[in-house]
Amino acid sequence: MTLVSGWGRFPVVDSDVLRPRSFDAVGEAVAAASGSVARGNGRAYGDAGIGARRTIAMTGFDRVRSFDPATGYIRLEAGMLLSDLIDTFGPRGFLPFVVPGTRFVSVGGAIAADVHGKNHHCEGGFGRYVGSILLRTGQGETIEASRAENADAFFATIGGMGLTGVILEATIRLRPVETGWIRERVISAVDLDAAMRALDAGDSATYSVAWIDCAAAGGNLGRSLIYLGEHAGADEVAGGAERFPVGKDPGLAMPIDLPSMTLNRYSIRAFNELYYRMGARRAGGSHVVSLFPYFFPLDSIGGWNRIYGKRGFLQHQCVIPEQSARDVLGEILARVSKRGDASFLAVLKKLGYGDGILSFPLPGYTLALDFPLRGDILNFLDEIDRLVVAAGGRLYLAKDARQSRATFEAGYPALQRFNAIRKSLDPAGNIRSKLSQRLFDEV
């Protein structure tokens, strides 16, 4: 048995971790013990990538099967990391259509969470660019699923958090790009209203995201920096620069767990103030920046999750439907700012429709906040959940480690349909994770 956790380092659970070397061995691992789930690169924050009894590590399956540059379609094994895909195909002029805030996720994990990027409001999530998947079900079948074939299994697997089976391979469509550079425009917004207005005005931008200073209060509540982005053309890349910049390995790495008191209202306020002022200075014009800091700002610090100390941290990511978003987000931010221990990293984005049955996105605004795991934080987040549910919103399973069943069920009205498909693919219930035990499985 091995101690396993997600990126938030909570919960930490004993699990039997297997690293199969062949697809047959994956099948045997699923069949041999009830209670297993696939794991990609462990970037989900909570308990999604941990098997109820057995965890099947998939990152060893990282080969490209075929690639058609005329269509951009690539067939690959599901354990391949987006970082490897970008490093290999970026210089040839192709990138994934959708990337999350870290490139160190596997293709299987990106499909299972139907991850969203900064372009969800106009281009949808990762699942939209999946042509088909090869799935090993809990019943022991290996099936190809697409919009035309085994469509129920396909749409349940996109955003299905690994609970429909193990994705062995996938065919996804890549985006042709001229360069690996992004034309970025920074806008500073003095409060939440201005931030939401700027995101609305940026609807036509391919990429948009707001970083919120959640330590700000009063008239500055919700003050933000908004980053809009477009792919830069070859003529925009400065003379002498490579058309495709190199994605560096994390230069800095957190060598130790910081004592949890390092993060307090004073250090957070000071950091946020500095970040806001530095960003505000760049506001106005547009700049061409490498795709790596634009899409993956945190990847430059290896193991940054250790900043929160040994006990770990929680990310709370909700989405609130458009019509109630202003009021509810204002209320959440006011409560968070009053507590004073909210994260360095509050992110606000606009989302559109999700493609999978259990996909997280719905048209509205998503807010992601990090909190050290200490004090009364669990009770505080339960209160925030009540605001989210009352507004018709929901929480993102890939970030969750603690929401209640009632919150989950209220937020995902298509759950019954998902459960029926899951049952038909796995009548004996072989595929189970710590997350499914907490939120899905009959008790």
Ligand X SMILES: Cc1cc2nc3c(=O)[nH]c(=O)nc-3n(C[C@H](O)[C@H](O)[C@H](O)COP(=O)(O)OP(=O)(O)OC[C@H]3O[C@@H](n4cnc5c(N)ncnc54)[C@H](O)[C@@H]3O)c2cc1C
Both structure tokens of 89:
């195909």
- Nearer Cβ to ligand X, position 48 or 85? 48
Which DSSP state fits 433?
B
Least distance between ligand X and beta carbon 71 (Å)? 24
- Nearer Cβ to ligand X, position 42 or 245? 42
**CA–CA–CA angle 39, 41, 43 (5° rounding):** 100
- Nearer Cβ to ligand X, position 113 or 373? 113
Least distance between ligand X and beta carbon 400 (Å)? 10
What three-state secondary structure class fits 402? coil
What three-state secondary structure class fits 72? coil
Helix (H) or strand (E) holding 52: none
Least distance between ligand X and beta carbon 240 (Å)? 32
C-alpha–C-alpha distance, residues 314 and 395, integer Å: 13
Phi, psi torsion values for 337, nearest 5 degrees: -65, -35
Residues lying near ligand X in the complex (CB under 6 A): 7, 37-44, 48-49, 58, 78, 100-102, 105-106, 108-110, 112-113, 115-116, 161-162, 166-167, 298, 398, 433
- Nearer Cβ to ligand X, position 110 or 195? 110
Least distance between ligand X and beta carbon 377 (Å)? 19
Both structure tokens of 70:
């005329």
Least distance between ligand X and beta carbon 108 (Å)? 2
Cβ-contact 170, 79 below 8 angstroms:
no
- Nearer Cβ to ligand X, position 117 or 245? 117
- Nearer Cβ to ligand X, position 221 or 344? 344
Cβ-contact 156, 164 below 8 angstroms:
yes
Nearest to 137 by CA among 53, 31, 21, 49: 31
Beta bridge partners of 411: none
Least distance between ligand X and beta carbon 237 (Å)? 26
Least distance between ligand X and beta carbon 175 (Å)? 17
| Sheet of strand 181-189: strand arrangement | 286-290, 181-189, 224-231, 207-212, 346-351, 364-372, 313-321, 394-395
- Nearer Cβ to ligand X, position 101 or 124? 101
Beta bridge partners of 15: 2
Least distance between ligand X and beta carbon 190 (Å)? 25
What three-state secondary structure class fits 342? coil
- Nearer Cβ to ligand X, position 221 or 431? 431
